[in-house]
Structure 1
Amino acid sequence: MDWTQAIDAYCERTDPSFWSEPVNALTNAAFLIAAAVMVRRVRGQGLPIAMALVAILAAIGIGSFLFHTVATPWAALADSLPIALYILVYLFAANLHFWNWPLWGAILGTLAFFPYAALTVPLFQSLPFFVISAGYWPVPLLIAVYGVLLRHRAPGTARGLLIGAAILTLSLVLRSLDEPLCTAIPVGTHFWWHILNAIMLGWMIEVYRRHRLAHR
C-alpha cells in the first residue's frame, strides 16, 4: 500500500491540497472543545476510564483533522483508530459498571463486539442508504439495545444512552448524505458528522460519569 497516496472521499475536497477541506478540517475543533469541557467535569472524581475516554476524544479530533487535511491512508488510520478505541473502551466501561460484570466478563463482552460487527456490518452494507456508513451503523444500534435493556436497572443511564444513540443516528444520516447532496450543497454535510459526534461522544462520557457517581 502507498501510505502517501491522496484520498478524495468527501464532497468538499476538490484537489489534493492541505486546505482543500477547510470546513471539514476546522470543525474537528468541536472534538477538542468537547474534550476540554469533559476533562473539567471528570477531573478529580476518581474516574480513570472516563479520563481515558476524554483523552481518546481529543485524539479523535486530531486524527480526523489529519485525515481532512493530509488525506492519505496513514492519516485515515489516524482518524479511524481512535474512534475504534473509544468504542471498545466505552463498551468495556458499560459492561463493567452499567452491568456490574466481573472484569473477565467485561473483557469478554468487549471482545464480543468483533463478531457482532462482523454480523451486522454486512447487513447494513446490503441496504442502499446505509451502505455508505455501514461500518458505523452497528454502534448506535448497540447503544440503543443497551439503553432498552438498562431501562429498569438504571433508568437515568438508559435514557442517556438512548439520547446518545439518537444523536449518533442523526450524525450518521448527515454523514451519509455528503455525496448524494454534493451538487446541491458543495461544502457537503460531513462537517455535521464532526459537530454532532463531538457532542455525542462528550455526552456519552457524561452519561458514564453520572452513572458512576450515582451508583458508588
Structure 2
Amino acid sequence: MEWIREIDGYCERLSPDYWAEPINAITNAAFLISAWLMWRRVRNQDMPLAMILVALLAMIGIGSYLFHTHAQVWAALADVVPILPFILVYIFAVNRDIWRMSSLFALVGTMLFFPYAAATVPLFQLFPGLGGSAAYAPVPLLILIYAALLRSRDPILAKGLAVGALILILSITFRALDLPVCGQWPLGTHFMWHILNAIMLGWMIEVYRAALIRGRFSAGLKA
C-alpha cells in the first residue's frame, strides 16, 4: 500500500498543501468539544463503556483532522478506523445494558453488524447521489430499528435514538452533497458532516448515559 499517496476527495481541497482544507480541518474541533463535554457528564459515574465511547469520539476527531490536513493514505486510515469501534462498542453497550443480554450474547449480537452492513451497503449504493456515503447509510437505519424495538421497553431511549438517527441522516446528506455543489459553493459541505456528526455522537453517548441512570433508579425503587 502506498501510505503517502495523496488523496483529493473533497471540494475544498485544491492542492496537496497542509492547510488546503482549513474549514474541513478546523471543524474537527467539534469532535473534541463534544468528547470533552461528554467526558464531564460520564466521569465518576461507573460507566466504563461510556468512557470508551468518549475516547473513541476524541480519536475520530483527531483522525479526521489528520486526514484533512495530510490527505494521504495513512491519514485516511486514521480517519475511518475509529468509527467502526465506536459503532461496535455502542451496539454492545445497548445489547448488554439496555436489552440486558449476557456479555456473550451481546457480543454475538454486535458481530451481526458485519453481515448486516454487507447486505445493506450494496442496496444503498443503488441510491443515486449517495456515492461513497452509502457505506455509512446502514447506521442510521440500524439505529431506527433499535429505536422501534426498544419503544415499549424505554420510550425515552427510543425517542433519543430516533433523534440521533435523524441527525446522522442529515449529516450523511451534507457529506454526499460536497462534490455535487462544489461549483456553486467552493467550500463544499463536508464540514457540516463533521459538525453534525460531533453533535450526533455526543448525543448518542448522552442517550446511553441517561438510559443507564434511569435503569439504576428503577432498580433502586424495586429494591
Structure 2 distance, partners of 1:129, 1:18, is: 29
Structure 1 distance, partners of 2:160, 2:129, is: 27
- Which 4+ stretches in 1 moved above 6 angstroms? none
What is aligned with 1:122?
122
What is aligned with 2:161?
161
1:71 paired with 2:80, answer no
Structure 2 SS opposite 1:134: helix
Structure 2 distance, partners of 1:132, 1:62, is: 21
Output one character per residue of 1:73-92: Cα deviation in whole Å (capped at 9) or x when no partner.
11000000111110111011
What is aligned with 2:181?
181
1:28 paired with 2:39, answer no
AA in 2 matched with 1:113 = F
Give the RMSD, CA atoms, in angstroms. 0.6
AA in 2 matched with 1:54 = V
1:97-136 equivalent positions in 2, closer than 5 A: 97-136=97-136
Q: Report the alpha carbon displacement of residue 128 of structure 1 after superposing the two structures with TM.
A: 1.1
AA in 1 matched with 2:78 = A
Structure 2 distance, partners of 1:115, 1:2, is: 29
Output one character per residue of 1:58-117: Cα deviation in whole Å (capped at 9) or x when no partner.
000000000000011110000001111101110110111121111111000110000000
Number of aligned positions between the proteins = 216
1:33-112 equivalent positions in 2, closer than 5 A: 33-112=33-112
Residue segments in structure 1 that go unaligned for 5+ positions in a row: none
Q: Report the alpha carbon displacement of residue 127 of structure 1 after superposing the two structures with TM.
A: 1.5
Output one character per residue of 1:6-52: Cα deviation in whole Å (capped at 9) or x when no partner.
00010000011110000000000000000010000000000000000
Structure 2 distance, partners of 1:129, 1:180, is: 8
Q: Report the alpha carbon displacement of residue 131 of structure 1 after superposing the two structures with TM.
A: 2.9
Identity value in percent? 60
AA in 2 matched with 1:29 = A
Residue segments in structure 2 that go unaligned for 5+ positions in a row: 217-223
Structure 2 distance, partners of 1:165, 1:97, is: 20
TM-score, scaled relative to structure 1 = 0.99
Q: Report the alpha carbon displacement of residue 126 of structure 1 after superposing the two structures with TM.
A: 1.5
TM-score, scaled relative to structure 2 = 0.96
